[in-house]
A and B are shown apart, each in its own frame.
Chain A
Amino acid sequence: MRSDRILLAHGSGGTMMRELIEEIIVPDFADDALKRLDDAASLPFPAGRLAFSTDTYVVNPIFFPGGDIGRLAVCGTVNDVATSGATPLYISVGFVLEEGFLVEDLRAILLSMRDAAREAGVHIVTGDTKVVEKGHGDGIFINTAGVGSLPEGLDLSGSYCRPGDKVLVSGTLGDHGIAIVSTREGLEFETSIETDAAPLNALIANVLAAAPGTRGFRDPTRGGISSTLNEFAVASGVAITIEETSVPVKDQVRGASEMLGYDVFQVANEGKMVAVVPAEQAEAALAAMKASPYGADAAIIGECAEGPAGKVYVHTAFGATRIMDMLVGEQLPRIC
C-alpha cells in the first residue's frame, strides 16, 4: 500500500480496494473468518434465539482521552447486544472513509477495534468499506452490527420494572462526555478524565448469574442516565426516584460539569450499565457488579415506585425532590 492517505479508489471495488483490505484491514483485525474475504461469513451458531443490534458511530474528535471511535464502535454494539442477556458472538463493520483520511489513523482505529473485540471475546467477521469525496464525510464513520445468542427463557426489558425494584449503576457517571468536551475547541480544560468506553458483557453475565430476577439493563449513552431512567419509567409505567448522594461521580467530572453548567445526569457514558433488579436481589447484583471488570464503583442509586407513572425524580443532596428531566437538543455550556 503506497499511499499514506485514503483515496477514492480505495472504495471503488478495484485493485486499490483489495490492497486496502488485504494489506491493512484484514491483518489488523486478524480474524480467521474475515480472512476468507467472502461476501458473507458462514459461522457456527448455537441453537435457539438470536439477539441483534446495530449502531453507527460519528464521534468527533475520533481520538480522545482514553480511547477512539474504533473502541467505541465495538464496545457500544457488544454492550447493546449484551443488554438483552445474550452472549455477544459476532460483529460486522461498515466504514465510510473520507478521501484524504490518514491510513495511519485508520490503522490505529483498526487495532483499537481488534483489541476491544478480543477483550470482549467477540469476532469481527465481515465488513464493508466505502470512500466518499473530500468534504462529504467527517473523516470516518463506523457502523457496527452485532449478533449474540440468547438463552431460552431469558426475557429482559426496560418495560418490566416494578414498584419496589432497585436501580443500580455499574460505576461513575459522566466520564465519557466530559472527556470528549475537554477536547472541544473553545471549552478546553485540563483533566485526567478519560472515556469509560468498555465491553460490559462479562459484567452483565455476572449480574444475571447472581440476580436472575433482573428486569433489564441499558447503557446510558447519549442523553446520559436521565434518558435511560425516563425511558424505563415510561415503558414500565412506574416512578423512579434517585438518591443524589448515592450516585457515583468523580470529583473532576463534578467540577467540569459545574464549570460548564452541565447536569451530570445528562452527560453521556460509554462503559456503564443501568440495571433494575428486584429489591431482594439488589445486594447480590451489586456484589456481582463490583467483582466484575469495570464495575468497581457500582452502586445502588434509587428505586421504583408505583407512581406518578413515567416520572423520574432526584432526591437532592440538599433534601428536596425535583424532576430528572431528559436532555433537550444538544447540551450547551451554561455561563449566564
Chain B
Amino acid sequence: MDLSAFRDPAIARGLIDAIEATKTGPVKLMEVCGTHTVSIAKNGLRAVMPERVTLLSGPGCPVCVTANADIDTAIELARRPEVIVTSFGDMMKVPGSYSSLAREKADGRDVRIVYSPLDALALAEKNPDREVVFVAVGFETTAPLIASAIMRAAESGLENFSVFCAHKTVPAALEALANDPEVQISGFILPGHVSTIIGSQPYEYLAEEYHIPGVITGFEPVDVLQGIYMLLKQLEEGRSEIEIAYHRGVLPEGNAHAREMVEKVFEPVDADWRGIGVIPGTGLKIRDEYAHYDAVVRMPVTLPEPKEIKGCQCGDVLRGVILPFDCKLFGKGCTPEHPIGPCMVSSEGSCAAYYRYTDYGRA
C-alpha cells in the first residue's frame, strides 16, 4: 500500500485552496494530540491558514499533562535499588518537582528506555531478581497495550513485573476545554489513533450538547488539511457533527476488542492534569483483580511535597489560552536545552514544536 499520496503537494494545494474558499471565521480550531502538534509545526501548516483560522494546541501531549506528583512517584520507584524503571523515551527528561528520570539515571539509578511494554516484560523475564516497573503514560492508544502486557504477565505468572499507571483518557477532558471561558473553541481536530481504539461515539456529546464540531483526523499533511477543511465546512454550513476524515485508520465503532481489554484491567478514576487540575473520570487505575501488577500497591512510596515551577505557564499553553511564544519564559530561560516545563521538554510539547520548527523565540 502506497500511502505517500497523503503527502502529495498537489492534493495539499487543492485542500489549501478549498480552505481559502470557505466563508467562516474568525474561528479557533484546537487539536488535542501531540502528534498533530508536531505534524502541524513540521509541515508549516499554520503559515498557510487564512488569518481568520487559528490553530490551537491543546493538552494532547500525555507526557506534558502528567502531574508532578506522578513523575515524583516514578522517581521514588527508581530510587529503590531492586527496581529497574522502564519508560518510553519521552518521559525521561520531563521535570518533576525536584528531579527527572534522566537525572536519576545520571545519578546511577537503573532507568531504561523501551520502545514497547513487551520489552519491559522481556526484561523482567531476563532479570528474575529485580523488580521491573513500567511507567505507563499515554491516552487510549496506549492503554490497551499496557492492559495486554499486564494480562500476559498474569498468564505467565511473572512475579517481578508491575506497572505504574498514569494513563489518562481524552473525551471527558474535551468537556473541560469546551467549558473553559478563557478559550472559545470553534471546533476540535480530534486525535486519529486514540479514535482508532475508541471510535467516534465518545465525542458525540460535544456536537449534541455543546454544538462544537469535531473531525477525527490523521497525521500526514494531507490528512490534517482534510480535517481542517471538513471542520470549516461544518462551521460554514452551521452543522455540528462528529465526522471521520481518517477513514483508513478509524472505524466508527473503533476497536472493540482493545476496549474490552482495557475494561478488564483498568477502571476509571479522577486524574490530575498538569496545568489544568483534576478532571473527574479521566484517569485509569489498575483494578483490584490485577493489583498484583500495580507498582504503587506493590511498593508504596512516600512522596516529597510536590512543587510547581515558578513562572512556568505550561498550564495556559496546554489549555490554549496562550500560544507558546506568549509565555514569558519561552526562549529566555526555557529552551529545549534548558527546559523549565514539560511543554518545552517533551518531543510533542507545543513549546518544543514551536521552538524547533519555526523561527519564534530565536534571538
Contacts and interface: CB of A to CB of B under 8 A. Distances in A.
B274 to A, nearest CB: 15
B86 A186 contact: yes
Interface stretch (B108-116, B150-158, B239-247, B318-326): B108-116
A329 B93 contact: yes
Contacts of B92: 332
Interface bin, chain B: 35 or more
B12 A318 contact: yes
A334 B119 CA distance: 15
Interface in B41-57: 41-45, 47-48
B141 A320 contact: no
A318 B3 CA distance: 13
A1 interface: no
A334 B89 CA distance: 6
B90 A334 contact: yes
Nearest to B344: A328
A187 B113 CA distance: 8
B9 A332 contact: no
B363 to A, nearest CB: 10
Contacts of A333: 88-89, 113, 115
B348 interface: yes
A325 B354 CA distance: 11
Given A187-B115, A332-B347, A336-B348, A322 B41 contact: yes
Interface in A147-200: 185-187
A336 B34 contact: yes
A336 B357 contact: no
Given A261-B347, A323-B358, A332 B336 contact: no
A47 interface: no
Contacts of B63: 336
Interface string B316-349: 0000000000000000000011000000000110
Given A261-B347, A332-B113, A336-B34, 19 more contacts: A185-B119, A186-B114, A186-B115, A186-B119, A187-B115, A261-B89, A320-B44, A321-B44, A322-B42, A322-B357, A323-B358, A323-B359, A325-B355, A328-B336, A329-B93, A333-B89, A335-B142, A336-B138, A336-B142
Interface of B: 7-9, 12-13, 34-35, 41-45, 47-48, 62-63, 86, 88-90, 92-93, 112-115, 119, 123, 137-138, 141-142, 221-222, 336-337, 347-348, 355-359
